[in-house]
A and B are shown apart, each in its own frame.
Chain A
């Protein structure tokens, strides 16, 4: 069964304290690993797609990396405005499937 698991469930950081969020997956024939940010009361906001092991992508203080079994979202010197829930997702196995299976998210709180 396709699964995406995120850890930790919640993470509390001081402003400027770098850390990483983890996303492990068991989707066979991975066709992309997606990261999203969700603020309270809003829809998920697309951040990155990673397609192959070793790939990295960056956006401001965020860097996403991918291995064969997991992905990491590294947050460097976070600011309070980085507080949000971060979701990762992967397409279901099977040819032609557009559907994503999401992890339960990591709720990040950055304290000033």
Chain B
């Protein structure tokens, strides 16, 4: 069974569109994350979320918003997509702070 899954794996869309990426974890973890990996392979945190607290990295545009319907899911919604949003987006989860994070397979977003 896949521990952290994401859909879709690839997403190609035009500038100005709104899109969502879904993430699910079956590890029973309390905390989930979204990361962006740019073309230089640099991995940067966007959000962390548990049922008590949402922490937003200050560099993330407010066009990006995480939505969590329940503890096992953290979806990423992106409004008004821009060319610079093209990247690979990873979802991850962990048991809590100080524990290793388990990553999904990634979603490659291409904005044309």
A and B part of one assembly: yes
Q: Which of chain B's residues have a CB closer than 8 A to the CB of A100?
A: 45, 101
Complex Cα distance, B44 from A105, in Å, reads: 12
Q: Beyond A49-B99, A91-B98, A101-B45: 6 further Cβ-contacts under 8 Å?
A: A36-B103, A44-B103, A46-B100, A97-B55, A98-B33, A98-B97
Interface residues of A in 60-92 (CB under 8 A from B): 85, 87, 91
Residue pairs across A and B with Cβ atoms less than 8 A apart, 11 shown, are A41-B106, A43-B90, A43-B92, A43-B104, A44-B103, A45-B103, A46-B103, A91-B98, A98-B55, A99-B55, A101-B45
Q: How large is the interface on B (under 10, 10 to 19, 20 to 34, 35 or more residues)?
A: 20 to 34
Contacts of B106 in A (CB 8 A): 41-43
Q: Which residue of B lies closest to A94 (CB)?
A: B55
Which residues of A come within 8 Å of B, CB atoms?
A: 31-32, 34, 36, 41-46, 48-49, 51, 85, 87, 91, 96-102, 104-105
Task: Tell me the chain B residues, 1-26 only, with Cβ under 8 Å from chain A.
Answer: 4
- With A and B bound together, what is the CA distance between A43 and B108 in angstroms? 11
* Bound CA span A48–B99, Å: 10
Contact A98 to B104, CB < 8 A, known contacts A85-B41, A104-B42: no
- Say how far B78's CB is from chain A's closest CB, in angstroms: 19
Query: Is the CB of B48 closer than 8 A to any CB of chain A?
Result: yes
* Given A43-B90, A85-B41: A98 in contact with B96 (beta carbons within 8 A): yes
